[in-house]
Structure 1
Amino acid sequence: MSGTTMVVVITCVVFGVLYEMYKKHLEFKTKTIQHNKTSDEYSIQLKQKVDQLTERVQVLEKIVTDEGYQVQKDINNL
């Protein structure tokens, strides 16, 4: 095998390996983007749930601090 042929073969092998590495990188990047999208959707759902629960707690706080509730509680204690 001549020197030129060896250089061509080695170059082809190196480019082949680099191409495969690049394909794997693109696959990983695609999976990462999909995972991030799923995580973002889940985060949005969690934020909505927290907002709903916060509203419910505020309503309950209004009910408990209402004077009418206290009077009813005092009547029930008698």
Structure 2
Amino acid sequence: MSGTAMVVAIVFISVGFGVLFDMYKKHLEFKEKTLNHNSQSNEQAVAMNKQVQALEERMQVLEKIVTDEGYDIRKEINKL
């Protein structure tokens, strides 16, 4: 191999590894963003589940009040 060919090969190898390294860095940044997004989504899902449970409990209490026999009597008294 001549000296010029060796220099060209070294330049191509250096540039190639540089490009591969940049691609790997971008890949890691993308994975980090994805993980952050997933953790935020999980936090939102947990918050929504808590809210749904609280609403279900309130609804059960309201159903008990409405289906209570005394509710009808109170309603009739209030109409008078």
Normalised to the residue count of structure 1, the TM-score between the two structures is 0.91
- What is the percent sequence identity of the aligned residues? 53
Q: Secondary structure at the match of 2:63?
A: helix
Question: Structure 1: 5+ residue runs without aligned partners?
Answer: none
CA-based RMSD of the aligned residues comes to 1.2
| 4+ long deviations beyond 3 Å | none
Residue 18 of structure 2 corresponds to which residue in structure 1? 16
Output the CA distance in 2 between the equivalents of 1:70 and 1:25: 66
Question: Residues 47-74 of structure 1: CA distance to partner in whole angstroms, max 9, x if unpaired?
Answer: 0011000110111011011110011101
Alignment of 1:63-74 (within 5 A): 63-74=65-76
Question: Structure 2: 5+ residue runs without aligned partners?
Answer: none
Alignment of 1:1-78 (within 5 A): 2-78=4-80
Alpha-carbon offset, residue 46 of structure 1: 0.7
Alpha-carbon offset, residue 27 of structure 1: 1.2
Letter in 2 for 1:70: D
Normalised to the residue count of structure 2, the TM-score between the two structures is 0.89
